[in-house]
Amino acid sequence: MAWYKNFLVEPGAKVDLKKIDPAETAGHESETSKAEVDRNLERLRKAQYLLYADDSQSLLVVLQGLDASGKDGTIRHLFSGLNPQGTSVAAFKQPTEVELAHDFLWRVHAKAPAKGDIVIFNRSHYEDVLVVRVHNLVPESVWSKRYKVINNFEKLLRRNRTTILKFYLHISPEEQLRRFERRLDDPMRQWKISESDYAEREFWPQYIEAYEDAISLTSTKRAPWYIIPSDHKWFRNLAISQIVADTMDGMGLKVPPPRVNIDELRRKYHAAKSEAGGKQN
């Protein structure tokens, strides 16, 4: 069994985040992690090439977590080296007036990956059972029905041959505060700090409860959640890169057969080369 299977939330399991150590490293060491991550990233680059060439499947990676949990860092470290022709990131912030005039999945479905593509969601449709719940933006009678809608939406994507991986980046409140402090002290990262970052800390228990319910009710065999201990950035990168690389290796991706007659094109090539050589002589 792969070492990261302990982070997989089995369908129907009840999640209790208090029982999961955000500083867990599963026996791995930071000194050796970079080489492991580099190997995984090379596997990802090869798999993405096959995914793009095969053009019959797609991959959706969902990143969720509290402020400073490492969503941006995960994207930067693990996905920025992929071919941008077949990779994109969708960030879901506060809905616009136009988006609010539609159902909550309207803006999300438009960003789902086309065949051959990888799309990373930086926050996602899960905000509509998290933020709206914690801040009472819609009544419970509305958000409580969205879990089933989300499961059906992800089932639809799976039927369209989209592989879905969902990661909750699990950090401690102490580590979050340390990261806020580093942002305050780093002029290159001060732009990331806002008043709401500290204000939202007051709602930590409510967010944890909302995440526990969301993960418990929407982790399915075809669209699983992984709870990734993320107090250590190096371990976060190792775990996610390993899971994504292994998943893509299991998608059965192959170089497709040529769409043209190779022998005929080779004959034309040699004829053209011979003609060009004759003209030079």
- When divided into structural domains, the chain yields a total of 1
- 277 — pLDDT class (breaks 50, 70, 90): low
CATH of the domain at 171: 3.40.50.300
pLDDT tens digits, 12-36: 999 999 999 999 999 999 999 999 9
Tell me the residue length of the chain: 281
pLDDT tens digits, 104-157: 999 999 999 999 999 999 999 999 999 999 999 999 999 999 999 999 999 999
State which residues form the domain around 22: 3-280
Closest by CA position to 54, among listed 154, 161, 166 = 161
Over 70: is that where the pLDDT of 281 sits?
no
Average pLDDT of every residue of the chain = 94
